[in-house]
Amino acid sequence: MPREAGIPRSLRGCSGSPRQGAPRRTRGGGDLEGAGLPEPPPSGAAMPGPRKRLPREQEAEAAADATLAKAPSPPRLGAAFFDQPCVRLARALLGQILVRRLPDGRALRGRIVETEAYLGGEDTASHSRGGRQTARNTAMFMAPGTLYVYQIYGIYFCMNISSQGEGAAVLLRSLEPLQGLEAMRELRLAQRKGATRSLKDRHLCNGPSKLCQALAVDKTFDQQDLACHPAVWLEPGLDVPREEDVISAPRIGISGEWAQQPLRFYVWGNPCVSVTDKAAEGARGSQPPAEASPCC
C-alpha cells in the first residue's frame, strides 16, 4: 500500500470518526499474544447477569465513583505526549489513566500497568514488520496517538497506540481498575456466556483482550485520535512509577529471533499485571515497591 503525503499536526482530525488517509511521521503495531485472553464463550450457553455485590462493596464503589465524578477532570494527554520513540512511550504510558466514556455517560477509568513495544521494521513480531502496510494495519502508519485496534481469533480485540518510528506502536496489556468497576464487570460477564464464577477486581483488565472487553472497545475505535476523541482518552496519572519500579521482560506469545527482546514493561508488584517474569524481577536483586491497590 503506497504511503500518502504528510498532513501537518495542526490539521489532525478530531471529529471522532476514523482519520482516513491522515498519515503520520511514525506508526505503531502490536502483535498476537496468548496470555491474558478471556475464556472463549461456549456455544448455546445462557448469559449470566452481573455478580451480586455485597452492600459494603456496593457502597464503597459508589462512593469512590461519586468522588471521582465530582472531582474536576484533569487535562487529557495531548498529541505531544504520544510523539516520542516507541520504547520510551511504552514506559511513559505506565501510570497514566485510560478513560472510557460509555454511551450512557458512565466513565470508566484504569491505570495502565503493563505495555508492550512493537517497533516495526526489523521487529518480526510486529504487524508492520519490514514496513508492510495493509488495510488492516493502516492505523500503524498514521500520526502518533492514533489507536490501532485489531481482532484476534475472530472474537477478541487488542488496542495499540501509535508512536514515533516507522511501523511502531505500543500494545496496552493491563489496567488497574479505578472507576466504574461494576460496569466493567457487567461488560466482561456479557462476553463470558455460561460463566459461573465471579470476576475479581484484579482480573477485570489483566490482559489486552480483557481490557478491551471491560471498556467496550472494538474495531470502531481503530484509527481514532486518542488526543481528542470524545469517548476514550488518557489523563495524566498521579502515581507514575519510578524507573527502578518498572520491569523490562520479553513479550508474551512471541516466537522467533525477537522472542527474547525485553520489550514488555510492567509496574513491579502490581497485582493487576497479566504475567509476571520472575527471572527479570530476580535480576533486580531487591524487593518490589509497596503497592497500595485497594481495588485489586
Break the chain into its structural domains and give their ranges. 79-271
Write the pLDDT tens digit of every residue in 223-251. 999 999 999 999 999 989 999 999 999 99
Q: What is the pTM of this model?
A: 0.78
Neighbours of 5 (CB within 10 A): 6
pLDDT value at residue 163: 98
128, three cell numbers: 508492520
pLDDT value at residue 178: 98
Residue 84's SS3 state is coil
Q: 33, 253 in Cβ contact below 8 A?
A: yes
- With a cut of 70, list the residues of the chain below it in pLDDT: 1-73, 194-196, 290-296
CA distance 160 to 164: 13
Q: Which burial class, exposed, middle or buried, applies to 49 when counting CB atoms under 10 A from its CB (0-12, 13-18, 19+)?
A: exposed
37, three cell numbers: 485472553
Q: Grid cell 512509577 — which residue?
A: 241
| Contacts (Cβ under 8 Å, ≥6 apart) of 29 | 118, 120, 123, 126, 127, 128, 137, 140, 148, 160, 167, 168, 169
pLDDT value at residue 285: 73
Domain 79-271 bears CATH identifier 3.10.300.10: yes
